[in-house]
């Protein structure tokens, strides 16, 4: 019997803010349950620290910018990228192999189209783009800021339509008017009731889909795309209350914010993670109630990380570990127990899912299946490396070192998003990952041989 897949993807959850990575201030009993009885990938990164590029790369199993420089087709270079309708991807491949394929929440696969519609089907010329991408069920809604921009432009979108049906759209719009993009400093709770909070809406959509699938004959794949813990730092009153009396680690090398304000930001970030954890717990209960738990592989990860003020940086886009690192855990039938320390990437998930599902692999993928790790098998071949990129910079890391090229710390976010990598060994930064996990000491000049070796592998990854 082929397994089901429950694939939970949060937005902007940095990989080191999990309790299994030692962040005991984050209380996630349900994700910890998955980690304790499943396989944790302790060194997972995203292909690009920005929503749409990372998710499109993940769907196609390809490195950032690998397929084409035209971000309207192939792998996106920025948030204006679109997952092509008529080219192979994970979802279409699973659907072709006999799976019911669904998603809910913000997929960001057709973000730039702004064509969600009230039903989340991205209708175009009488055709559902959602179905054309391979989805047989579910819907696509906008992210936190996109939903506001859509409402202001009069563009229908599922979550704002849901709020309007309950007379709460103005409450949400008024709240976000005080949280302009990007916004971390407004840590006041939203006035939305818990049932109408964005991630709780996504969870309710997922539960409805899982109940529908319970009576079906096909195996299923469901990707649940949560909106948090992405900024702004909007949480409900009950989420805030759950953090009473808590302490958080101090800001590392932050220069633009007080400790008191940082404490409130960290509080809200943790509250969003813990709310997602609670929703995962409800998913586990539902799967057990409907007799589907024993045949469902459950995966949790995020599309990219979050600097959260470290080294004076907020958000993502940069090559440092808090920005590119993500949590990753597998649980369920055929999944062994343990921790994998070799570097892996989100682009490895498509070949992994397809192998487990017994489906044909994508023909142009750069990722490798993680299924051998899940089975506890020894792996062979070259020392594993994984790469990431955004605009003008690229990075590559193995277990010992990380090389970054084309990045200078003074570059602005708009310059990153507008830039393109020139393929050269420019402004190299080399970090000793074992002895300098916070990437504070550039040792490139003292280690030219390591730089050359990693740069050679980097070029190979992006041009082979």
Q: What CATH number has the domain bearing residue 430?
A: 3.30.1120.10
Question: Can you give the pLDDT at residue 462?
Answer: 83
Cis-peptide into 42, omega within 30 deg:
no
CA 15/CA 31 separation, integer angstroms? 13
Percent of the chain at pLDDT > 90 equals 87
Long-range contacts of 351-356 (CB under 8 A, 24+ apart): 351/61, 353/5, 353/7, 353/90, 353/94, 353/221, 354/90, 354/93, 354/94, 354/97, 356/3, 356/5, 356/297
**Distance between terminal CA atoms of the chain?**
37
- Tell me: do 366 and 404 sit in the same domain: no
Is residue 69 situated within a structural domain?
yes
Q: Give a yes or no: residue 386 inside a domain.
A: no
Report the C-alpha gap between 271 and 402 in whole angstroms.
Answer: 31
Instruction: Look at residue 433 and tell me whether its pLDDT is greater than 60.
Output: yes
Q: Which of 388, 416, 382, 423 is nearest to 402 (CA)?
A: 388
Find the Cα–Cα–Cα–Cα dihedral 229, 30, 196, 81, rounded to 10°.
Answer: 40
- Output the pLDDT for position 80: 86
Residues 420 and 292 in one domain: no
Statement: residue 380 has pLDDT above 70: no
Chain-centroid distance of CA 236 in Å reads 22
Contact 219, 262 (CB under 8 A): no
Q: Same structural domain for residues 343 and 407? A: no
pLDDT at residue 75, as a whole number? 60
Cα dihedral 400, 24, 9, 185 sign = negative
- What's the pLDDT at 69? 41
Those residues whose C-beta lies under 8 Å from the C-beta of residue 138, and which sit 6 or more positions away, are 102, 103, 104, 120, 130, 205, 209, 222
Kindly state the helix (H) or strand (E) to which residue 402 belongs, with its residue range.
strand 401-405
Q: Which domain holds residue 96?
A: 4-374
Q: Examine the domain organization and report whether 135 and 88 are in the same domain.
A: yes
Burial class (CB in 10 A: 0-12, 13-18, 19+), 379: exposed
Rounded CA gap, 129 and 120, in Å? 10
Domain boundary among 344, 374, 404: 374
Distance CA 322, CA 308 (A): 8
Specify the pTM.
Answer: 0.97
Q: Given pLDDT bands bounded at 50, 70 and 90, which one contains residue 76?
A: low
Residue bearing tokens 């899940």? 374
- Lowest model confidence (mean pLDDT) among 354-358, 400-404, 416-420: 416-420
Mean predicted lDDT score pLDDT of the chain? 94
Same domain, 439 and 361: no
Within 13 Å, how many C-alpha atoms sit on residue 451's CB side?
A: 17
For 332, the 3-state DSSP assignment is coil
Percent of residues, the chain, with pLDDT higher than 70: 97
Note the helical H segments in 325-443: 349-357, 371-374, 413-418
Picking from 339, 374, 409, the residue at the C-terminal end of a domain is 374
Q: Are 279 and 149 within one domain?
A: yes
Rounded (to 5) percent helix, strand, coil in the chain: 35, 15, 50
- CATH number of 122's domain: 3.40.720.10
| Among candidate residues 316, 340, 374, the one where a domain is terminated | 374
| pLDDT given at position 87 | 85
The SS3 call for residue 60 is helix
Res 29 pLDDT > 70:
yes
pLDDT for 238 equals 98
Q: How many domains does the chain have?
A: 2
Q: Which residue is it, tokens 């009993």?
A: 29
**Closest by Cα among 464, 462, 397 to 434:** 397
pLDDT at 372 over 60: yes
Question: Is the pLDDT reported for residue 68 higher than 60?
Answer: no
Burial class (CB in 10 A: 0-12, 13-18, 19+), 122: buried
């Amino acid at each position: 019997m082929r397994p089901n897949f429950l694939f939970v993807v949060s937005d902007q959850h940095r990989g080191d803010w999990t309790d299994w990575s030692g962040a005991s201030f984050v209380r996630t009993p349900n994700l910890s349950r998955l980690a304790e009885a499943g396989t944790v990938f302790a060194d997972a990164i995203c292909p690009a620290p920005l929503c749409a590029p990372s998710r499109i790369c993940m769907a196609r199993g390809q490195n950032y910018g690998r397929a084409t420089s035209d971000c309207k087709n192939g792998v996106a270079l920025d948030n204006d990228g679109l997952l092509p309708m008529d080219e192979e991807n994970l979802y279409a491949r699973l659907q072709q192999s006999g799976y019911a394929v669904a998603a809910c929440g913000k997929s960001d696969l057709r973000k730039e189209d702004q064509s969600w519609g009230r039903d989340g089907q991205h209708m175009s010329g009488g055709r559902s783009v959602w179905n054309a991408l391979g989805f047989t069920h579910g819907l696509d809604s906008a992210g936190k800021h996109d939903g506001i921009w859509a409402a202001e432009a009069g563009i229908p979108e599922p979550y704002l339509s849901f709020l309007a049906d309950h007379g709460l759209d103005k409450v949400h719009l008024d709240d976000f008017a005080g949280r302009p993009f990007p916004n971390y400093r407004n840590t006041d709770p939203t006035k939305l009731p818990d049932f109408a909070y964005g991630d709780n809406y996504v969870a309710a959509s997922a539960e409805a889909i899982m109940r529908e699938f319970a009576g079906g004959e096909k195996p299923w794949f469901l990707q649940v795309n949560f909106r948090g813990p992405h900024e702004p730092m909007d949480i409900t009153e009950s989420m805030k209350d759950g953090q009473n009396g808590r302490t958080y680690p101090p800001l590392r090398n932050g220069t633009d914010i007080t400790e008191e304000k940082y404490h409130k930001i960290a509080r809200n970030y943790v509250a969003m993670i813990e709310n997602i954890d609670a929703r995962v717990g409800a998913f586990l209960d539902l799967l057990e109630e409907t007799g589907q738990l024993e045949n469902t592989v459950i995966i949790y990860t995020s599309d990219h990380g979050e600097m959260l003020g470290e080294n004076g940086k907020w958000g993502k886009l940069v090559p440092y570990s808090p920005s590119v690192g993500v949590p990753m855990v597998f649980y369920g039938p055929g999944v062994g127990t343990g921790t994998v320390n070799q570097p892996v990437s989100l682009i490895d998930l498509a070949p992994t899912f397809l192998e487990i599902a017994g489906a044909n692999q994508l023909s142009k993928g750069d990722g490798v299946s993680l299924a051998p790790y899940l089975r506890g098998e020894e792996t062979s071949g070259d020392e594993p490396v994984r790469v990431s990129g955004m605009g003008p910079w690229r990075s590559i890391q193995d277990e010992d070192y990380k090389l970054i090229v084309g990045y200078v710390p003074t570059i602005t976010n708009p310059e990153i998003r507008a830039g393109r990598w020139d393929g050269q060994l420019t402004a190299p930064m080399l970090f000793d990952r074992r002895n300098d996990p916070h990437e504070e000491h550039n040792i490139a000049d003292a280690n030219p041989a390591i730089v050359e070796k990693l740069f050679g592998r980097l070029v190979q990854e992006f041009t082979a």
